[in-house]
Structure 1
Amino acid sequence: MKLMTIKKNGNYRLGIKTDKGILEVESILNKDKQSSLPTEIMTVIQNGEEAVGLLETYVKEVDASQLLYLSESEVEWGPCVTDPEKIICVGLNYRRHADETGASYPESPILFSKFNNTLTGHNNDIFIPKTTEQLDYEVELGIVIGRRAKDVSEEEALNYVFGYCAANDLSARDLQFKTNQWLLGKTCDGFSPVGPYLVTTNEVENPNNLKLKTVVNGEERQNSNTSDMIFSCKELISYISHHMTLEPGDLILTGTPEGVILGEPEDERNYLKPGDVVTAEIEGVGALTNRMI
């Protein structure tokens, strides 16, 4: 199932992508009085299979002629995950990305955090802060946790996942490397667009065999596969869960492949500027587009 967040009158509402278009769940409630249906993405994540089952059953059984379907162009998109307790990011997690930046492969996952101020949605404009002249893109597979996870094994780790999304870990390189801590260059407003959809696990057979790419102004910049990860999705979930408890809705950004601007020779680095349109796309998960302003 492909779930999404619709931004309407300043509020976030749950949407479902169907073959006929997008359904706004709250409009279903108003029309059919289906009070058992969840109306917000975090509620669906927290209630897991039960909530997804209710939505799937309703979409399958409802008289489609009685419902109003929206097109993607009509929707104002919110982040597909709206209120994670934690946003945990992984640095240098692709072999060829480490190669292009001249870094050695890490012996254990390099973790850092982002905050909810960085979240934004598909087709939302992103302001380039005045404090940076070196804004870079990073397509990443996002893992959304669906069950509380503590000390889980690698063999069981993927059972704790609710779904997956496309993400762009925007990075201001001049701020990122201003100190030894990467936080400043990673946490400006809007620096974590996620979406368009949150895709449930039953639609993603193997998260470590997905094509992913970045396109800037129609030009392909990144093109790789999640199979190039140094630490796989199950390894990351297990590792993190042995250090902190993962809660439903927590978001793990799993690292970016080669092709970032930072990997170019220094005199050839053309960082993002106002007007640039960036699409981060992951096979079977979605294409996330944002314009820099």
Structure 2
Amino acid sequence: MKLATIRVNGTTRAVRVDEDKAVDLGESDLVAFLRHTDWAARAADADGDTYEGALDYAPVVVAPEKVVCVGLNYRTHILEMGRELPSHPTLFSKFARALVGAYDDVTLPASSTQMDWEAELGVVIGAEVRHADTEQARAAIAGYTVLNDVTARDWLYRTDPALMRRS
């Protein structure tokens, strides 16, 4: 089952995307929809308004509370770069305003000469968890999405990345 947030008439709607149409789930976005503990059953049974044709996709999660990213997360790539495997996950954050919809333009800073991009797997967490064991963590996952991680490489090491440690 594919879920999305789309733009419709100046607002957003949570939808289930079927092959040739999208079915409205009765909420303004997926964050609101995922607050229902029975969201999966509701999505499967939804029979709301339908949207056909080209959809205007918003970010999957329009205004996330947090965007936490994991760097150096592919063992083979780390070794290819001649680096040692990290003893702890390398975490960094992104601002919610950096998120765009599937077909939106990505604005690149004119002052950077070393823009880089990587396709990444995004995990949408649908329930709040803390100090979760493996089973609880898996149960909190609402779904997965494809992300385009865009980085200004020439800006990356200009300063001490305190923002990453103090966020």
Residue 42 of structure 1 deviates from its aligned partner by: 1.1
Residue 86 of structure 1 deviates from its aligned partner by: 0.6
TM-score for both structures, normalised by structure 2: 0.87
Q: Is the counterpart of residue 58 in structure 1 residue 46 in structure 2?
A: yes
Query: Which whole-Å deviations, capped at 9, do the CAs of 1:145-175 have from their partners, x for residues lacking one?
Result: 1111011112432111111111111111001
Quickly say closer, same or farther: Cα 1:68–1:12, change in 2 above 3 A: closer
Q: Is the counterpart of residue 40 in structure 1 residue 29 in structure 2?
A: yes
Kindly provide the amino acid, as one letter, of the partner of residue 95 in structure 1: R
What pairs up with 1:209-220 in 2 under 5 angstroms?
A: none
Query: Which whole-Å deviations, capped at 9, do the CAs of 1:174-209 have from their partners, x for residues lacking one?
Result: 01122242869xxxxxxxxxxxxxxxxxxxxxxxxx
Name structure 2 gaps, 5 residues minimum.
none
Kindly provide the amino acid, as one letter, of the partner of residue 64 in structure 2: P
2:116 counterpart residue number: 136
Q: Is the counterpart of residue 93 in structure 1 residue 82 in structure 2?
A: no
Query: Which protein, 1 or 2, shows the higher relative CO under an 8 Å CA cutoff with sep ≥ 6?
Result: 1
Runs of 4+ in 1 over 6 A off after TM superposition: none
Q: What fraction of aligned residue pairs are identical, expressed as a percent? A: 34
Query: Which whole-Å deviations, capped at 9, do the CAs of 1:83-129 have from their partners, x for residues lacking one?
Result: 11110011101012212332211011011111111110111111111
Kindly provide the amino acid, as one letter, of the partner of residue 124 in structure 1: D
Quickly say closer, same or farther: Cα 1:68–1:147, change in 2 above 3 A: closer
Kindly provide the amino acid, as one letter, of the partner of residue 55 in structure 1: A
Quickly say closer, same or farther: Cα 1:177–1:162, change in 2 above 3 A: same
2:14 counterpart residue number: 14
TM-score for both structures, normalised by structure 1: 0.51
Name structure 1 gaps, 5 residues minimum.
27-36, 185-293
Q: Is the counterpart of residue 146 in structure 1 residue 146 in structure 2?
A: no
Contact 1:144 1:164 in 2 (8 A): yes
SS of the residue aligned with 2:13? strand
Residue 69 of structure 1 deviates from its aligned partner by: 4.2
Kindly provide the amino acid, as one letter, of the partner of residue 154 in structure 1: T
Residue 142 of structure 1 deviates from its aligned partner by: 0.9
Taking the aligned partners of 1:179 and 1:98, their CA distance within structure 2 comes to: 23
Taking the aligned partners of 2:77 and 2:159, their CA distance within structure 1 comes to: 21
Contact 1:20 1:69 in 2 (8 A): no
Q: Is the counterpart of residue 119 in structure 1 residue 99 in structure 2?
A: yes
Q: 1:81 aligns with which of 55, 61, 69?
A: 61
Kindly provide the amino acid, as one letter, of the partner of residue 6 in structure 2: I
Contact 2:117 2:151 in 1 (8 A): yes
SS of the residue aligned with 1:117? helix
Residue 12 of structure 1 deviates from its aligned partner by: 1.6
Taking the aligned partners of 2:32 and 2:160, their CA distance within structure 1 comes to: 38
- The size of the alignment, in residue pairs, is 164
Taking the aligned partners of 1:119 and 1:177, their CA distance within structure 2 comes to: 22
Taking the aligned partners of 2:98 and 2:35, their CA distance within structure 1 comes to: 22
Taking the aligned partners of 2:56 and 2:137, their CA distance within structure 1 comes to: 34
Kindly provide the amino acid, as one letter, of the partner of residue 5 in structure 1: T
Q: Is the counterpart of residue 70 in structure 1 residue 52 in structure 2?
A: yes
